Amino acid sequence: MAKTTKSVSFLVVFISCVLILDMANSLCGRASDTWHGICFTESHCDRKCKTWEKAVHGTCHGIINKKCYCYYKDCNEASTLGEILE
């Protein structure tokens, strides 16, 4: 029974990692141009990226000086702010 539980746990973790890596490979990201200061709240970063920069997702990255990063489906959008804000 314990061996089955370990196998199932491993399978769940493995599938989760594959799905996360697949999602990460399909999005292009860059530091937010509209966020100022340290990023403390993931939901605030996500909301600002979606509403101000028309991104798909936003999240905080970093250890000491956390910054807000926005992620886009189109890598061209991730490279030019002018097109995003229009």
Instruction: Express each pLDDT in 16-37 by its tens digit.
Output: 444 444 444 578 888 999 999 9
- Residue 51 has a pLDDT of 95
Q: Where are the domains of the chain?
A: 2-85
Q: Which CATH number fits domain 2-85: 1.20.1430.10, 3.30.2140.20, 3.40.50.360, 3.30.30.10?
A: 3.30.30.10
- Higher-confidence residue of 71 and 20: namely 71
Question: What DSSP line would sit under the chain, residue for residue?
Answer: -HHHHHHHHHHHHHHHHHHHHHHHHH-EEEE-SS--S----HHHHHHHHHHHS--SEEEEE-SSS-EEEEEESSHHHHH-HHHHH-
